[in-house]
Structure 1
Amino acid sequence: MQTFERLERTPATIFNPKAFKPKAFKPLTLATMIAASIVAVPASADAVLDRITALEQELTALKTQLKEKEELQHKKGVELKKGTRFQYGGYIKLDSSWSNYSDAQRANNVGDDFLVPSTIPVGDGTNDGDTVMDTNAKFSRLWFKTTTETSAGTVSSYIETDFNGSNDERLTNQSFNGLRHAFLKWDYSDSSSLLFGQTWSTFFNVGALPEAIDFVGPTSGTVFVRQSQVRWTHKLGNGSSVMLAAENPSVGVWDGGGGFANNDTDDSATPDLVARYNGKAGNLSYSLAALGREITYDDQANDQDDDDYGFGVSLSGKYMFDNGDDIKFMFNHGNLGRYVALQAFRDATVEADGKLDLVDVTGGYVAYRHHWNDQWRSTLSYAYSSADNPNSLATSDSVTKEVSNANLNLIYSPTKKLSFGAEYIYAEREVESGLDGDLKRVQFMGKWAF
């Protein structure tokens, strides 16, 4: 009886996750234990099945525990030196696209790599169009992150680069790498942190950007800016938080004739200031951001200068359906200039009297993503923005009045981080004179994230 009781306790003890050490486990050990346990149990089929079932449950629990430990180890990274953990990642992506411009040859080949609304040529329909094929891997990227626990709190660093620079396609296709992100973040308490460096503008809610094969996606209606800044974040609980930031200023203005003003427009003496609230209500997560910025110019050649203060607001978010589908949206308004549509619009116009006339921009996007099954998904989006340009620009063929684009894609992921997809893009641009043009593009991609 004593022998039986010891055997009765042995499997449970051995398979207790707290007592079991994975590196000492061998398949033969499990087989031996099962055999010994079965032999010791009275010859009852039900008892034998119960014992095997219990052992299987213990083994499943152990595997789950080991998997969770591995995932946690991956998230925390590898400790390269005492107190500091290191992580790296990125992806390799190949893009291939066929682009048809309705009116004349495209104005700038940067628009062949991804949608840049301001480069869509316009005309009266009498010019021949232009079709261009382009393939590149320049949007592949690599990032590194460190995390260090200190007596003052957690300090982390992040740096990311891609290769979205100019390249010579004739021979080597060598592209220049560029700095995307470089910042440090200090979590000085459980609820508050400070960020110093270059990253996405606080005015831009990156979580509301829909999945696209194009580099941006809903380009015509989205805020899309990375810049150096100092940012304070404070968590309020229940998934909400507030952010305050001072960010690098930059200004672009038109002269009264519709050309880019020949003056020093990067003359701001104050940073762009951003306040943002992030909230959550059920399946809806959203952000409301406000922007204040000094808009200046200094034409030293003609002894003219002026400054004004512009404002902008942005509401964006994501609604998750119970089946995994989602809707993402953004609405923007104000003196936004470079912040919207990859600077399709300027901040102001220098009028004949030397005074600035600020430009109001209004627009946004909506996108719906549907999961066909665990491996296939599609996103349909529409984006639009328009500028209330001053009357002095009413007949200009170079000043953009409005831009829009619609995207529809189909993406297949045979495993979590491997994706292949195709996307159709239709984009339009209209200038103040009334001329317009459109772009039709079919784009394919293959991507592996690591």
Structure 2
Amino acid sequence: MKKMNYSIIWVSIGLSSLGMTHAGSLSELEQLKSEVKQLREMIEQHQKQQNQAVELIHNQPQTIQLPDANSSTSPLLMRSKAGVDVNLYGNVRADLLYQAEGGGADRLYNQINSVPLKGNNESSDVLKSTLAATRIGLDFKTADQDLNAKIEVDFLGANEALRIRHAYFNYGAWLVGQTWSNFAVPDYMPETIDALGYVGGAVKRDPQVRYTYKFNAETQLVSAVEDSKDALSQMRLPLFSTRLNHSFADRAGSMSVRAMMSQKRTATDDELAWGVGIGAKYELSTKTTLKADYYHVKGDSSLVSWTNAGFSVDANKKIMAMNEFDSLTLGVTQQFSPQWRSTLGYGYMKADENQKYIQYLSDPTKANKHVWQAWANVFYSPKKPLSFGLEYVYGERKAFAAGVNGQDTGEDNRFNAVAMYNF
């Protein structure tokens, strides 16, 4: 703008000089001076308006428009061809086990119901490690919050092969696919390092169709038909399960009452299996949590972990008797600080000593009167997403019959350690 002012001024001076040198008349000179004065006033007025505009901009409050976390422009991991938002999660997990006494040679994780009886091919004083529990998952979400899906895998299949943990979709109140059994839920198991958990608990996932009815925000009834993948039974009808969930009004805990029934079928016979369960967790304080879970089951071994075969058969595959058992797990978790926490836990399973059931077992040394385990662990998280854990567990099983050396007890005495990077 200043450059423009100077140019006009020089033009004005030139015109004035020209007029004075070659003036034809006094009136023409006065008219020219008047026009130059008007032009200067216009320039000064324009400059004043420009300065006011700049000052107004400088005095305006400065704002930055941040992206809405719920909008479609928020950062996403990826978006599928169908327009579905996809989020990746999982962990890299390294497990280390030192088997002091007992245990078997075939698997690193818990196998308390089948550990060798004392003096019979025990695998003691052995160090094992694996990364098979490393996990990868994908969550799928659409703009419609009633529709979502999940796929999750790990490497705990045969010979550390990839296996499906969860694969399902939700549509409103319906769920279709594979996830935790509606009957044998892990919600009330005390925390463990062992990837399979301990006696008294359940880590069963199976294909199912599930419907959830909400009475209110605190209470829901969940019913499902499931394929429990029972290797002993030739399924003709799916297992039916129902579960009533309730959260306490103060939000300090929750409980669940469960029931199931299932047809057990061989080539020549069939029987009805059934079970009930109840679990609860309660926060004594913001740092102390109690958990407890109880099951009573007859005729099924496919849902609750570390139990005997659900039924025994004769040479013609006729079901002669059904196993019946009670199981219980208890635990307390203490959060000492944001980095440190610890859990003490105990699990127990007791079977009914049905002599007819025992008589028709192919090997009664592999079935148990009772099984128990106790454990203590500590977890340390120096910073997210790292976590380290150390655990000691001791357990025993007492078989229905003794081995060739007269021993009917097997033990599990070991240390577990884990290192995880969660993402």
TM-score, length of structure 1 as denominator length: 0.72
Structure 2 counterpart of 1:256: none
SS at match of 1:424: strand
1:280 aligns with 2:231: no
In the aligned structure 2, how far is the partner of 1:240 from the partner of 1:83? 34
One of 365, 376, 388 as aligned partner of 1:420: 388
Structure 2 counterpart of 1:145: 139
SS at match of 1:118: helix
1:291 aligns with 2:260: yes
Structure 2 counterpart of 1:247: 226
Q: What is the correspondence of 1:293-332 to structure 2 with a 5 Å cutoff?
A: 293-298=262-267, 305-332=268-295
SS at match of 1:179: strand
In the aligned structure 2, how far is the partner of 1:389 from the partner of 1:245? 32
Q: Which runs of 5+ in 1 are unaligned?
A: 24-65, 168-174, 188-192, 253-264, 299-304
Distance 1:289 1:127, change over 3 A: closer
Distance 1:155 1:133, change over 3 A: same
One of 370, 379, 388 as aligned partner of 1:411: 379
Distance 1:376 1:78, change over 3 A: same
1:195 aligns with 2:239: no
1:101 aligns with 2:88: no
Please tell me whether the aligned partners of residues 190 and 343 of structure 2 are also in contact (alpha carbons under 8 angstroms). Answer: yes
**Residue type of the alignment partner of 2:391:** E
Distance 1:270 1:69, change over 3 A: closer
Displacement of 1:421 in angstroms is: 1.2
Displacement of 1:364 in angstroms is: 1.4
Displacement of 1:209 in angstroms is: 2.7
Q: Tell me how large the CA RMSD over aligned residues is.
A: 2.8
One of 411, 415, 418 as aligned partner of 1:438: 411
Distance 1:83 1:158, change over 3 A: same
Q: What is the correspondence of 1:304-383 to structure 2 with a 5 Å cutoff?
A: 305-335=268-298, 336-342=300-306, 344-351=307-314, 354-383=318-347
For residues 417-450 of structure 1, the C-alpha deviation after alignment (integer angstroms, 9 at most, x for no partner) is 3101100010111100250011111111110110
Displacement of 1:238 in angstroms is: 2.8
Larger radius of gyration: 2
**Residue type of the alignment partner of 1:324:** K
SS at match of 1:211: coil
SS at match of 2:350: strand
Please tell me whether the aligned partners of residues 337 and 361 of structure 1 are also in contact (alpha carbons under 8 angstroms). Answer: no
Distance 1:108 1:339, change over 3 A: farther
Q: What is the correspondence of 1:111-122 to structure 2 with a 5 Å cutoff?
A: 113-122=108-117
SS at match of 1:397: helix
SS at match of 2:381: strand
Structure 1 counterpart of 2:46: none
Distance 1:129 1:416, change over 3 A: closer
One of 365, 368, 390 as aligned partner of 1:400: 368
Displacement of 1:80 in angstroms is: 4.4
In the aligned structure 2, how far is the partner of 1:155 from the partner of 1:323? 33
How many residues are treated as equivalent by the alignment? 355
Percent sequence identity is: 25
Structure 1 counterpart of 2:237: 270
TM-score, length of structure 2 as denominator length: 0.77
In the aligned structure 2, how far is the partner of 1:370 from the partner of 1:237? 31
Q: What is the correspondence of 1:198-237 to structure 2 with a 5 Å cutoff?
A: 198-217=178-197, 219-237=198-216
SS at match of 1:404: strand
Structure 1 counterpart of 2:422: 449
Please tell me whether the aligned partners of residues 189 and 329 of structure 2 are also in contact (alpha carbons under 8 angstroms). Answer: no
1:160 aligns with 2:152: yes
Please tell me whether the aligned partners of residues 292 and 312 of structure 1 are also in contact (alpha carbons under 8 angstroms). Answer: yes
Q: Which runs of 5+ in 2 are unaligned?
A: 1-51, 403-407
Displacement of 1:267 in angstroms is: 1.7
Distance 1:285 1:10, change over 3 A: farther
SS at match of 2:281: strand
**Residue type of the alignment partner of 2:113:** S
In the aligned structure 1, how far is the partner of 2:148 from the partner of 2:200? 33
